[in-house]
Amino acid sequence: MARLDSEPLQSVPRQKTPAWRKALYWLLCGGVTVGLLAWSLRDLSLPALGQVLSRINYGWLAVALGAYLAVFALRAWRWGLLLAAQCWPGRWRDRFYAFFVGYSANSVLPASAGEVVRAVLLNRWAKVPLEPALGSVLGEKLMDVLVVFLILLGLLVRQPQLSGRLPLGFLGAVIGVSCSLFWLLARYPRLITDFVGHCMQCLGLGRWRSQAEHLLGGLLSGLSVFRKPGQFLLTLGATFLSWSVNGITYWAVLLALGITEPGWIGALITQSLAAFAIALPSSPGFVGPFEAAVRFGLNFYEVVGAEAIAAALLLRLVMYVLTPVLGLLLGLRLGLSRSDLKGLAPESTPERPTAGGTPGWTGAGPQLR
């Protein structure tokens, strides 16, 4: 396979993150990871776990992996819909490769840095402007948050006995505020940009005002789809489809272990909880929050102990081991290296605009998991 870009990948300009911020970030991530992982494995019995894993049906495991790979194709299509509202979205193949490699980078880089990697790769390979590409990633997160909550809410209507055990009011309030904020950002980009520039001027940061306004304007342009009802509804439909197919992965993994009680609805509910949990800061690969969310969701259906732990481990194998390995192999075929990925991504936490106009940025909210 030929390399898709016509020039060597260059590192994204970035500022050095202070040592104390790095230490604080890793301390927070480490605490979340260790705490939730300890809760998830609190009653681990290796003999019992081995007995559960010994009955794996590899046919259903193959279905789980196939469904998860199909989601990448759907997400690449959805990404194109978001970008097309503002600029040339590139070829589907370019978006698919960038998404796949960026997802794999998420498994080895901190702070969801793979989201930046895929935006930069699409810029290199398809000449899609970087700021709208990053802005479209923000748009994806809002779509995912909204759709995952609606799926969870719709499923709980059919299983009302679970409603009292989940903080639906809190989640609904957070999502309502997020949707309102994103609507304002998409509806009044120029007003928001001017306001931020004025604030910077008042704070004595005028020398960075033009750079910040240019950067923010580019990012907000990636939210253009929210001002176009037809494209918005199509993108929303693509998001529902991708999360529905993603749910097949959870369902097939449960069937691979002979766990039938949660069924399709239980698998989708567990998926929704995992999608919210991985928004928490943690180590690369979302170790801890993912396992805790899967076990928490399965506990609703009396899937506990070794079976719940086995399901979480098998889902991790499919999502965070096999799939990232395939993505990294694809990256190698395209001529990328680990140093390329490090150079394309921010160090850890958000930074103000650099002289090159490219931000350090981290994603938030439900992701493809």
pLDDT by residue (tens digit) across 6-49? Answer: 444 444 445 566 777 778 877 888 888 899 999 999 988 999 99
State CA 137 to chain mean position distance: 9
User: Is residue 354, in this structure, part of any structural domain at all?
Assistant: no
User: Is residue 92, in this structure, part of any structural domain at all?
Assistant: yes
pLDDT band, residue 179 (cuts 50/70/90): confident
Give the predicted TM-score (pTM) of the model. Answer: 0.81
pLDDT band, residue 212 (cuts 50/70/90): confident
* pLDDT at residue 158 in the model: 76
For residue 190, what are its two tokens? 């120029």
Percent of the chain with pLDDT over 90: 37
User: Is residue 1, in this structure, part of any structural domain at all?
Assistant: no
Query: CB-hemisphere CA count at 13 Å for 142?
Result: 24
Query: 121-140 pLDDT, tens per residue?
Result: 999 999 999 888 988 888 89
* pLDDT at residue 123 in the model: 92
Calpha distance 71→178 (Å, rounded): 25
Query: Would residue 228 be called left, alpha or beta, if left means φ above 0 and alpha means ψ between -120 and 50 degrees?
Result: beta
CB 106 within 8 A of CB 99: no
User: Is residue 16, in this structure, part of any structural domain at all?
Assistant: no
User: Is residue 282, in this structure, part of any structural domain at all?
Assistant: yes
Range of the domain at 219: 58-344
Calpha distance 227→301 (Å, rounded): 41
For every residue of 288-334, DSSP letters joined together read THHHHHHHHHHHTTT--HHHHHHHHHHHHIIIIIIHHHHHHHHHHHT
Calpha distance 110→325 (Å, rounded): 17
* pLDDT at residue 290 in the model: 93
Amino acid at residue number 364: A
User: Is residue 212, in this structure, part of any structural domain at all?
Assistant: yes
Burial of 174 (0-12, 13-18, 19+ CB in 10 A): middle
Who's near 177: CB < 8 A, 6+ residues apart? none
The structure tokens 């605490």 sit at 31
Q: Give the range among 58-62, 151-155, 219-223, 348-352 with minimum mean pLDDT.
A: 348-352
* pLDDT at residue 345 in the model: 60
User: Is residue 181, in this structure, part of any structural domain at all?
Assistant: yes
User: Is residue 7, in this structure, part of any structural domain at all?
Assistant: no
* pLDDT at residue 338 in the model: 62
Calpha distance 327→64 (Å, rounded): 17
SS3 75: helix
Q: Give the range among 85-94, 99-108, 198-207, 360-369 with minimum mean pLDDT.
A: 360-369
Residues in the chain: 369
> Which of 186, 233, 193, 227 shows the shortest CA–CA distance to 210?
193
Residue 173, pLDDT above cutoff 60: yes
**Quick one: average pLDDT of 327-331?**
89
* pLDDT at residue 203 in the model: 87
Residue 293, pLDDT above cutoff 80: yes
Query: 345-368 pLDDT, tens per residue?
Result: 655 433 333 333 333 333 334 444
Query: Which comes out higher in pLDDT, residue 65 or 17?
Result: 65
**Widest pairwise Cα distance in the chain:** 65
For residue 5, what are its two tokens? 């870009």
* pLDDT at residue 242 in the model: 96
Calpha distance 126→158 (Å, rounded): 44
* pLDDT at residue 346 in the model: 57
* CB neighbour burial string for 130-153, b if at least 16 within 10 angstroms, e if fewer: bbbbbbbbbbbbbbbbbbbbbbbb
Q: What is the DSSP-derived secondary structure letter of residue 11? A: P
Residue 81, pLDDT above cutoff 60: yes
Percent of the chain with pLDDT over 70: 86
> Which of 143, 172, 144, 168 shows the shortest CA–CA distance to 156?
168
User: What are the start-end ranges of the H helices in 107-228?
Assistant: 114-126, 130-158, 168-187, 189-202, 209-221
**Quick one: average pLDDT of 181-197?**
84
* pLDDT at residue 119 in the model: 92
CB 60 within 8 A of CB 253: yes
pLDDT band, residue 218 (cuts 50/70/90): confident
Total structural domains in the chain? Answer: 1
**Quick one: average pLDDT of 193-212?**
86
For residue 26, what are its two tokens? 């890793």
SS3 57: coil
